[in-house]
Amino acid sequence: MIKELMACHSFPAVLVVVVVLVSCLLAPPAVTASSMNISTYWGTNSSEGSIEDACNTGLYSIVNIGFVYKFGNGRTPVLNLSGHCNSSVQGCTYLGREIIEYCQQKGIKVLISIGGSSGDYNLNSQDDVTLQTTCGTTNLVALIFIESTTEYWDVLAETLRNLSNNGTSQIELSATPKCHHPDKYLGTAIQTGLFDYVQVRFYNESCCQYDGSFDAMKSEWNEWIADDKVDKVFVGVTASAEEEGYVDANDVLENFLTDAENSTKFGGVMVWYLYTDHNSQYSETIKA
């Protein structure tokens, strides 16, 4: 069993502890440019600027830090920030509590992404899930992004939610499944009904991504919003024209999001990822 007891004031240590990240529940996201919530990923390219820079754009209501890509089997969790800094060596001082709180004061949620499309992670038992923390004021939120295993993610979600229910702290959970419903790896966890929202990836998935037509996307979108275990759904798109499933921002706005917004389960848009978003001005186009 993995057991750690830490205070939130030691932020670099919090980043290294993967399986449970504790938060004081934040107010609903606030955006300045328009009413549409946009989520993005930070930490995948060293040229994308700082988290503070991202929060100052006025574009994002959620910034996902990615990724904690190595954990499980009793190993020390490892956070990969693609050249920004090395959390296990020199630490990541500019990811300190003051920076996170700066974003939160703007109404922007900062999430830790657990897993990723590449990495070495596994939860091999129920005991491997358990991690105990205390909550200070660094309001982190937990997010799960899993692509290689199926077991114990439901146990992880339940462990996190129990921390909230017993009054230890307030927890908010999100998952980032692939667009085909139900997701092969996260489906069981999502069916616990414990996730506050899902950020569904409608790209790099041939059966339900944009392919010159929105039909497949719309079909799977309808499956997600019909799921009574899912409260809110973000539409995940890529800002890079080089990735499979890319769709022009104006096109997705006019031919998909306009209809999607009519659902009470519409949460917003997840744009992968910050660096390409800046270069393409994808989010700016959506929020214009």
What is the set of active-site residues?
Answer: 147
Ramachandran bin of 121, using left for φ above 0, alpha for ψ from -120 to 50, beta for the remaining angles: beta
280's enclosing H/E stretch is: helix 274-280
In whole angstroms, what is the distance from residue 167 CA to residue 150 CA?
29
Q: Which residue's structure tokens are 């798109």?
A: 237
In the 8-state DSSP scheme, what is residue 24? P
The β-bridge partners of 178 are 201
Cα–Cα distance between 97 and 190 in angstroms, integer?
30
Token output for 65: 């830090």
Question: Do you find a cis peptide bond into 273, omega within 30 degrees of 0?
Answer: yes
